[in-house]
Amino acid sequence: MRPQTEVAPAHRRTLARFAPLVLLGITLLGGGLRIFQIANKGLWLDEAFSVWLGWQPLGQMWGWLLRIDQHPPLYYTLLHFWMYLGDSAGTVRLLSALLGTLTIPVIYCLSRRLLGSSAGLLAALILAVSPFHVRFAQETRMYTLLTFNASLAMLALVYLLTDPRSAGMPIGSQLAAFYRTWRDARAAERRASDQIGGYQHDLRGTTASVTAPRRRRWLPLSEIQTDLAWLAYMLFTAAAALSHNSAVLFPLATNLFVFGFIFWRRLSPGLRSQNPSRDDAGRSSPDAAQVIQTRPAGLGPPSPRNWLLAQLGVFLLWSPWLPGFVTQARGVYAEFWIPKPALATVVATFGTFLSDMLPRRPAWIDVIWAGFALLAVLGIVALRRRPAIGALLLTLIATPLAGEWLVSLKRPIFYDRTLIWASVPLYLLLAAGLGRLRYRPGVLAGLALLVAVNGLSLNQYYYHFDKEQWQEAAAYVGQKVQDGDLLLFNATWAQIPFDFYYRYNKRPLPEHGAPVDLFDRGVLEPKMTRADLPRLHDLIQGRRRVWLIYSHDWYTDPQHLIPAALGQELNLLEQRQFYGLQVQLYGIP
């Protein structure tokens, strides 16, 4: 029996009619924020390393990833081809800005499917003006690619959870029927053509028009929608895991939810998914057009068989990277620079997701965080009658945070940017909370406050947030170098961002690292020890002037052995402080 449909109120029909136009405006706003001043700040160390890898031939790039990096190859491979457009700071960052902008309509579709069109627009706006996402959309790193792929995987998952056919039809059956329809239509056309002598028969002498009967060759796209959602889930889940190794927590989160949902439904067999636009067989009902799609669909779990096959598909797509993942995991386990997280670190991550870089003003900052917390609570309250949706969002938020926290008990890896995709369900929860305000003035007031707060953070980012000043340091050295000078780097991979900007200097100099030259130990940041001092003395022996590019010394030279050794044989002639590094000139007066 087909469920009775409802026609949405006039204001919802109006919203649905203009939603695409509003979404376009929000997307353009988000894109503008991500492009604004994108080239003004120089590349910092990690970004320059991305560009250096992008310069390498693909085979060598993948080899370097296994030797010295902790990230999978998808982003670097895309960047390699993107850099055919150029390798300036603005150009290489545009890839991240584009991916970040494309995520805005994805989160709209995700929220619209779960919560309705109005919540979809609110979630899209929250993402568009998010300082956290704007910041990483202006970095030559993989975090917006991670968010984009994870968001598409979430969208595919939601389509499966809101489509009864995911439980009743085996994976691939729709595509098989699609192919059979095309094949049978082609065969019928050939038979009909043969009966009238073929299409190539000369009919110029006839007085009547003769045509072969034609059948519909293709089924409607809606008839293969479920299989396409399965394919999208498998493809983009694997792509997320190939964007960042920490995204292996995404399939963990989805499996926790789906198997929990299946178990819960079996304990409550009387419960059924309520989807007003689908009949019991999963087909679109004739009256569905009358139901404005601001009304969200209910959730229902897929069949265990289909779900397990999808997980197998994800693993097969990701499995070529499994040896690389194991190699990198061993390297991280052996040594990693991230400190052990405290409980305050986890709490601060939510603040970063909500409004990164908000100015520290204790007089009113607590009021803002209380407002965000209130919106999240309202979102949970708004979903109390749809507990499956609330459980899905909370699982997607909590699993990656708890997962990285638990791993960090053994080897610290907890880092807010690697958790960036967990902010997407959080924004959906905030959108549900804004919608809970019900009255239009309340929604507008809450939205205005959110935009104003994020506007303050964006202003802080654009005009007061500094990145390591390698461009300025390279220009400073380039103006003062003399023939016979030596360039010495304490953090050996700091040579990469310095050389990115120094490459245009017409006076090249010999460059060496301390304790070893770049990558000679097969790690990015080898630490200086007293056993490395004889080599350092050999490097500076007979030199009248030595430039020390001193950066990340808290990790690579915590005892400050390099400046002390240089000071024993040469005098400190000049010292210039740049953000993130020092330039020191040692020599004979």
Confidence of residue 128 (pLDDT cuts 50, 70, 90): very high
User: CA angle at residue 388 from 387 to 389, to 5 degrees?
Assistant: 90
pLDDT in tens, 352-371: 999 888 877 666 777 888 88
Confidence of residue 160 (pLDDT cuts 50, 70, 90): very high
pLDDT of residue 271: 53
Average pLDDT over residues 203-221: 52
pLDDT of residue 276: 39
Report d(CA 255, CA 264) in Å as an integer: 14
Tell me: pLDDT of 290 over 50.
Answer: no
Tell me: pLDDT of 192 over 70.
Answer: no
Tell me: pLDDT of 6 over 50.
Answer: no
pLDDT in tens, 302-345: 999 999 999 999 999 999 999 999 999 998 888 777 888 988 89
pLDDT of residue 268: 75
Length of the chain as a residue count = 589
pLDDT in tens, 460-492: 999 999 999 999 999 999 999 998 999 999 988
| Lowest mean pLDDT segment, chosen from 166-180, 194-208, 513-527 | 194-208
Tell me: pLDDT of 2 over 70.
Answer: no
Report d(CA 504, CA 262) in Å as an integer: 61
Bond from prior residue into 515 cis (ω within 30 degrees of 0): yes
pLDDT in tens, 380-432: 999 998 999 999 999 999 999 999 999 999 989 999 999 999 999 999 999 99
Q: Is 478 helix (H, G, I), strand (E, B) or coil?
A: helix
Name the residue among 166, 320, 305, 302 with its Cα closest to residue 241: 320
pLDDT of residue 178: 82
Helix (H) or strand (E) holding 271: none
Name the residue among 579, 462, 357, 457 with its Cα closest to residue 37: 462
Tell me: pLDDT of 207 over 90.
Answer: no
- Higher pLDDT, residue 139 or 524: 139
Confidence of residue 8 (pLDDT cuts 50, 70, 90): low
**122 touches 112 (CB < 8 A):** no
pLDDT of residue 459: 94
Query: Cα–chain-centroid distance for residue 68?
Result: 22
pLDDT of residue 294: 38
pLDDT in tens, 519-542: 888 777 889 999 999 999 999 998
Confidence of residue 507 (pLDDT cuts 50, 70, 90): confident
pLDDT of residue 399: 97
User: CA angle at residue 539 from 536 to 541, to 5 degrees?
Assistant: 105
Q: Which residue has the tokens 């959080």?
A: 426
Average pLDDT over residues 8-20: 70
| Lowest mean pLDDT segment, chosen from 22-36, 70-84, 285-299 | 285-299
pLDDT of residue 454: 94
What DSSP string runs through 287-299?
A: GGGGS-TTSPPP-
pLDDT of residue 495: 93
Angle between helices 343-355 and 440-464 (to 10 degrees): 100
* Burial category of 243 from C-beta neighbours within 10 Å (exposed 0-12, middle 13-18, buried 19 and up): buried
Report d(CA 166, CA 147) in Å as an integer: 25
Tell me: pLDDT of 289 over 70.
Answer: no
pLDDT in tens, 223-237: 889 999 999 999 999
Mean pLDDT score of the chain = 87
CB atoms within 10 A of CB 342: 10
Q: Which residue has the tokens 């000078």?
A: 485
Distances (CA, A) of 460 to 93, 132, 362, 464: 20, 12, 16, 5
Q: Is 249 helix (H, G, I), strand (E, B) or coil?
A: helix
pLDDT of residue 340: 87
Query: To the nearest whole percent, how much of the chain has pLDDT over 90?
Result: 66
Q: Is 140 helix (H, G, I), strand (E, B) or coil?
A: coil
Confidence of residue 4 (pLDDT cuts 50, 70, 90): very low
Report d(CA 102, CA 30) in Å as an integer: 9
Q: What is the DSSP letter of 244?
A: -
Report d(CA 386, CA 151) in Å as an integer: 21
**582 touches 551 (CB < 8 A):** yes
- Higher pLDDT, residue 181 or 381: 381
Confidence of residue 130 (pLDDT cuts 50, 70, 90): very high
pLDDT in tens, 66-109: 998 999 999 999 999 999 999 999 999 999 999 999 999 999 99
Query: To the nearest whole percent, how much of the chain has pLDDT over 70?
Result: 86
Q: Name every residue whose Cβ is closer than 8 Å to that of residue 260 and which is 6 or more positions away in sequence.
A: 391, 395
